[in-house]
Amino acid sequence: MAAGRHGGRADSALRQVGRPVSIKDVARESGVSPGTVSNVLNHPERVTEAKRLRVEESVRRLGFVRNESARHLRTGNSHTLGLLLLDVWNPFFTEMARGVEDWAFDRGWTILISNSARQPTREAIYLNLFAERRVDGIIVAPHGDITERLIDLQNRGIATVMADQRGSGDTTMSVSLDDVHGGELAATHLLQLGHRRISFIGDPNQVTQVRDRLFGATKAVAASNLPVQLGVLEPTDLTVAAGRDIGEMIVDLPPSERSTALFASNDLVAIGIMQILLRAGVRIPHEIAIVGYDDIEFARQSTVPLTSIRQPAYEMGRSAAQLITAALTGEPPTPRHVVFEPELVIRESTIGRDTDPV
């Protein structure tokens, strides 16, 4: 049998293809018991320094790697989270994932990131896969109402948190933004700039977040007691491409029939609309002002920097992960439903209109 890299018999015996180095191999190599090796790995304070150094040298020389699956089966803790995003194409969700991942990295946890692509069937498949993998917790940005499914998972010992959708009661946990207030902020900003013909670009039947944004805009218009037309244009999706389609519809209208301001249900849609308007020579904001939602990095960098309603995506992700921690350590999280406040970030896509404030 070919000698191993170091020429030792132990190495050659261990370099059999497909046979991972075990705790017993390390014990034999170090001249200690398997229990001592386990203590060096899990409770080094219980082992003398001389033995600890011998075991650590053998671990390095043999290339021993802990068998997390075996540890998981023994302890029941996988130290793994399932993170199910609604749309990985949307930088809002990848920024949220960054907040969860930083939390996991700080604790040596693993995350399984998946994308439901706003498809309920796909969402259900991934929730089942996470359960089969026996993750310790699941953070999900849901497409619709999956409260019952989450309670079922919790009854099987899996902590769950809804991200980006407000839950209620004491059987679930959630992290969300006050989207009604976000819609109010966007509409009030446009009203204060003097706009009276405003279009909301979003399908309130798509996701509850969009419905709440429209409701907030409607509340602000009603509270203003001003003669305002608030129309709704429903994009086929919440993407740049769907925004471009809405932009084409707008430029096909005679300027006199166009709204003077658009409130897009997210930044991706706003960016798509802006591409078409600018290509058609429409001046932003002087002919049409635009407000987006999420304040993703591209909003700041777009051709005409986009006014947007900021969601603290990173902080929302970390907050969801902290709720999981509380659930797993038995501390009753308070509150169970964390609601962040939106922030209006004003940029060139709305200011610059020579209108006296109302």
Judged by the rule CB under 6 A, the positions of this chain that interact with ligand RIB are 86-87, 90, 92, 164, 207, 209, 238, 266, 293-294
Pick between residue 36 and residue 90 the one whose CB is nearest to ligand RIB: 90
Both tokens assigned to 10? 């132990």
| The two three-digit tokens of residue 247, written as one number | 């932009």
CA distances from 169 to 101, 147, 159 (A): 27, 11, 16
* For ligand RIB, the closer CB: 181 or 258: 181
Q: Shortest gap between Cβ of 231 and ligand RIB (angstroms)?
A: 20
Residue with smallest beta-carbon separation from ligand RIB: 266
CB of 260 to ligand RIB, least distance (A): 24
At its nearest, how many Å lie between ligand RIB and the CB of residue 339? 13
Strand pairing report for 229-233 and 197-201:
parallel
If we measure between CA atoms, which residue out of 299, 265, 310, 304 comes closest to residue 287?
304
Nearer to ligand RIB, 87 or 184 (CB): 87
Tell the smallest beta-carbon distance from residue 345 to ligand RIB (Å).
14
Query: Smaller CB distance to ligand RIB: residue 29 or 95?
Result: 95
In angstroms, what is the minimal distance from the CB of 269 to ligand RIB? 8
> CA-to-CA distance for 186 and 234, rounded, in angstroms?
18
Token digits of residue 97: 């994932």
Phi and psi for 344 in degrees, rounded to 5? -80, 120
Q: From residue 349, give the alpha-carbon distance in Å to each of 29, 90, 227, 267, 292.
A: 68, 20, 23, 12, 9
Name the minimum Å distance from CB 203 to ligand RIB.
10
Q: Please, which residue, 14 or 86, has the CB nearer to ligand RIB?
A: 86
Pairs from 13-22 (Cβ < 8 Å, separation ≥ 24): 14/62, 20/65, 20/67, 21/62, 21/63, 21/64, 21/65, 22/64
Q: Per the structure block, which two tokens stand in for 289?
A: 């002002």
Instruction: Return the number of the residue (158 or 270) whose C-beta is nearest ligand RIB.
Output: 270
